[in-house]
């Protein structure tokens, strides 16, 4: 053994000794070898092309599972993009998906042929689920899902039969892959395929060849990528753009890493985030307002109504002469009505709106604040009012753990959270969907507010509605809207004009939405009446905001606005009367009502400038005499630069809506001229706001900034 070891050492020593000589020979012969390579290149290329069909056939025959795995998952990824972002012909995501699948598949060659099926089928099922789940999610949220939503997605089990509105037939088109894969393996096994010695070469060689092919495709893909693309992949907030550029598989793999940010990010990148945070507020400081609305409601009590899924278009909608929301329409006409108000929520829907309303920050880029970042410090409306000796409370007729509200509402600064489980009388006949119906909830809430009013000089409370939550199930015994379409038509046989009735909205999602929204509006009307009877409106400001749109698919609106009573169906797209409900119509239609109302009606005005949920704290705060130094929004009465950024990076001004994911937009007023500088300015600002807001949340920058300022003050 000692002799063998000594000989090995001699060989290694000799090899190192001869290395310079070998390197010298290599470079000496390089020109000649290169010349020979170039000279033989046409012949080699010709041979490669000539043998390609045979080699491909041989490879496919001897590696059937590998081949099917790669092709099937590539097809599924193309199908997904076809049904969602519509860029199925784009080369870049095809290369990205192909590279990912090839690299994953290459590791199968490290297993014996008879054991590869388990490896392949595990990944086949995983990648099929990636496509299926994202297809379902995109259909309902026009975005792609995230691993960070695993905890969040558990909330859907509290939504009852809402799943009925989530799943479509097309979402199951991806499951063909694992089904056929099972059959292929079974068929090959019966024919003794795995008993043949196809592994005459070393398995490591096959692995290296397959991995090399994946790396080559990956390099080809990377040649199509820009620095901006890499930045958007890293930040992950523009998910649609990432999938359009990087494909679904790289997006989801990157998302897995991004979803660990609540645990990992606070440990890394703090200095860069803090620097960007300081620079942003130097450029866009959150300044206190001084206008005619300053302090007009200072010292008054406040009741804020969180109106579930109420959209603004409902205020102007009638069905057979019956207004959908007559009470909201009346309150809007009697108070300050912000008619171009947008919610800015992300995947956390209602909880995101609560967060943005209270903090003037945007939702988290990954996951939801209520679930993943509840333990950070935020400056909020309740906290600021508590500094003025207000008692603050929130009420919601749902379980306290839904959206982690029982924990998060304490963090937001509410003194007490009144919930379904602990504080309301529950009767079976009053249960609807997720919890207590709005009318019973409001009736009991007024009794509690009356008790609060007797104990505290000033108070602020938020009432979170529930009945108008998807799946929009009408309350039994509630007077139903007439959802038919009535029109006059001449009877061809009698020649007499008759009234024809088409039942065109019954049992549609939009029709059900009209029903529950009408009920919710009645509940708001009853609330205002009872508050008035109890004398609780004399020194109180009523604030009403829609928390987000109803998440109803664009096809429902397209049918509603292009309904043809003659055929009892949607107009054909070739019909001159057809007006497509475009994606921009859909996005702009998502606006929700925002109303500030007092009984005396002293302030009556419609404000048409665009406004976001993050503008509430600065705007309402100026009226109440409170201010946050960390607000991203602005007081709409003090800022001429009206701008709303959405969590996906899209933005809106009084002049245009811009889709940053597709790099296109739409002008809101004919005759307006928009320069490229204008688009670049607001796109850059949108990206800054999304980034800084997320940095504040992830790195707990408000708390750390306060601690730093305190230390500086003590050292002076």
**Which whole number is the average pLDDT over 245-251?**
92
Q: What percent of the chain has pLDDT over 90?
A: 54
Using the predicted structure, report yes or no on whether residue 503 has a pLDDT greater than 60: yes
Structural domain boundaries of the chain? 1-57, 63-259, 270-715
Using the predicted structure, report yes or no on whether residue 38 has a pLDDT greater than 70: no
C-alpha dist (Å) from residue 423 to 301, 436, 699: 22, 12, 35
Using the predicted structure, report yes or no on whether residue 419 has a pLDDT greater than 60: yes
pLDDT of amino acid 105 = 92
Residues in the chain: 716
User: In a 3-state reduction of DSSP, which class is residue 188?
Assistant: helix
pLDDT band, residue 487 (cuts 50/70/90): confident
Q: Which of 130, 158, 157, 166 is nearest to 146 (CA)?
A: 130
Q: Whole-prediction pTM value?
A: 0.76
Dist. CA 452–CA 393, nearest whole Å: 9
Q: Within 13 A of 674's CA, how many CA atoms are on the CB side? A: 19
pLDDT of amino acid 498 = 82
Contact 320, 532 (CB under 8 A): no
pLDDT band, residue 172 (cuts 50/70/90): confident
Dist. CA 339–CA 669, nearest whole Å: 16
| R_g of the chain, CA atoms, integer Å | 31
Using the predicted structure, report yes or no on whether residue 157 has a pLDDT greater than 50: no
Residue-wise pLDDT tens digits, 343-370: 999 888 899 999 999 999 999 987 789 8
Contact 214, 106 (CB under 8 A): yes
| Class at the top of the CATH hierarchy for domain 270-715 | alpha beta
In 592-698, where do the E strands start and end? 592-597, 605-607, 611-612, 643-645, 651-653, 656-659, 664-667
Looking at 461-475, 509-523, 574-588, 608-622, which range is the least confident one? 461-475
Dist. CA 26–CA 46, nearest whole Å: 28
Burial of 715 (0-12, 13-18, 19+ CB in 10 A): exposed
pLDDT band, residue 474 (cuts 50/70/90): low
Centre a 10 Å sphere on the Cβ of residue 133 and count the other Cβ atoms it contains. Answer: 17
Q: What percent of the chain has pLDDT over 70?
A: 83
**Which whole number is the average pLDDT over 78-100?**
89
Looking at 45-49, 83-87, 226-230, which range is the least confident one? 45-49
Give the β-pairing of 318-319 and 416-419: unpaired
């Amino acid at each position: 053994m000692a002799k063998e070891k000594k000989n090995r050492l001699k060989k290694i020593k000799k090899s190192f000794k001869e290395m310079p000589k070998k390197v010298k020979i290599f470079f000496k012969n390089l020109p000649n070898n290169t010349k020979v390579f170039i000279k033989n290149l046409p012949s080699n290329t010709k041979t490669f092309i000539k043998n390609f069909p045979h080699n491909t056939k041989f490879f496919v025959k001897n590696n059937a599972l590998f081949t099917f795995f790669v092709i099937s998952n590539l097809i599924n990824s193309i199908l997904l993009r076809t049904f969602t972002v519509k860029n199925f012909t784009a080369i870049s995501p095809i290369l990205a998906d192909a590279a990912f699948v090839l690299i994953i598949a290459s590791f199968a060659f490290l297993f014996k042929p008879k054991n590869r099926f388990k490896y392949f089928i595990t990944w086949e099922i995983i990648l099929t689920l990636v496509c299926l789940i994202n297809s379902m999610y995109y259909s309902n949220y026009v975005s792609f899902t995230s691993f960070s939503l695993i905890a969040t997605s558990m909330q859907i089990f509290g939504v009852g039969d809402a799943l009925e509105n989530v799943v479509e037939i097309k979402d199951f088109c991806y499951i063909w892959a694992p089904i056929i894969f099972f059959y292929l393996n079974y068929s090959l096994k019966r024919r003794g395929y795995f008993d043949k010695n196809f592994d005459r070469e070393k398995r490591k060689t096959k692995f290296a060849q397959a991995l090399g092919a994946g790396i080559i495709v990956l390099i080809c893909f990377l040649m199509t990528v820009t620095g901006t693309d890499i930045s958007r992949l890293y930040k992950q907030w523009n998910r649609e753009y990432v999938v359009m550029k990087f494909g679904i598989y790289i997006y989801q793999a990157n998302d897995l890493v991004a979803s660990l940010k609540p645990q990992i990010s606070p440990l890394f990148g703090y200095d860069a985030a803090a620097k960007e945070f300081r620079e942003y507020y130097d450029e866009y400081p959150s300044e206190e307002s001084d206008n005619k609305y300053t302090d007009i409601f200072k010292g008054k009590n406040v009741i804020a109504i969180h109106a579930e899924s109420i959209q603004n278009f409902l205020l102007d909608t009638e069905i057979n002469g019956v207004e959908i929301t007559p009470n909201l329409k009346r309150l809007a006409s009697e108070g300050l009505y912000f008619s171009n108000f947008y919610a800015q929520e992300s995947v956390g829907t209602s909880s995101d709106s609560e967060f943005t309303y209270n903090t003037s920050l945007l939702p988290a880029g990954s996951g939801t604040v209520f679930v993943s970042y509840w333990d950070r410090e935020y400056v909020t409306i309740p906290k600021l009012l508590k500094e003025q000796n207000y008692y603050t409370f929130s009420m919601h007729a749902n379980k306290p753990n839904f959206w982690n509200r029982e924990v998060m509402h304490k963090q937001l600064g509410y003194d007490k959270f009144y919930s379904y489980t602990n504080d309301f009388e529950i009767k079976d006949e009053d249960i609807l969907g997720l919890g207590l119906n709005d009318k019973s909830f409001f009736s009991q809430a007024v009794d509690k507010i009356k008790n609060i009013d007797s104990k505290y000089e000033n108070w602020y409370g938020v009432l979170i509605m529930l009945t108008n939550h998807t799946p929009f199930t009408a309350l039994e015994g509630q007077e139903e809207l007439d959802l038919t379409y009535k029109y006059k038509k001449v009877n061809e046989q009698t020649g007499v004009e008759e009234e024809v009735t088409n039942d065109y909205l019954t049992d549609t999602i939009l029709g059900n939405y009209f029903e529950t929204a009408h009920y919710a509006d009645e509940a708001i009307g009853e609330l205002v009446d009872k508050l008035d009877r109890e004398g609780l409106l004399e020194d109180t400001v009523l604030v009403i905001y829609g928390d987000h749109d109803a998440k109803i698919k664009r096809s429902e609106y397209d049918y509603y606005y292009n309904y043809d009573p003659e055929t009892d169906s949607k107009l054909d797209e070739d019909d001159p009367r057809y007006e497509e409900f475009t994606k921009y119509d859909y996005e702009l239609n998502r606006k929700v009502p925002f109303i500030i109302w007092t009984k005396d009606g002293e302030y009556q005005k419609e404000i048409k400038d665009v406004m976001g949920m993050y503008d509430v704290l600065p705007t309402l705060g100026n009226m109440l005499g409170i201010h946050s130094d960390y607000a991203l929004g602005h007081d709409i009465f003090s800022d001429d630069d009206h701008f709303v950024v959405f969590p996906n990076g899209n933005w809106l001004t009084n002049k245009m809506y811009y889709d940053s994911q597709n790099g296109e937009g739409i002008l809101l007023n004919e005759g307006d001229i928009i320069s490229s500088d204008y688009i670049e300015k607001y796109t850059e600002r949108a990206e800054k706001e999304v980034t800084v807001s997320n940095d504040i949340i992830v790195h707990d920058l408000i708390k750390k900034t306060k601690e730093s300022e305190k230390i500086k003050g003590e050292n002076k």
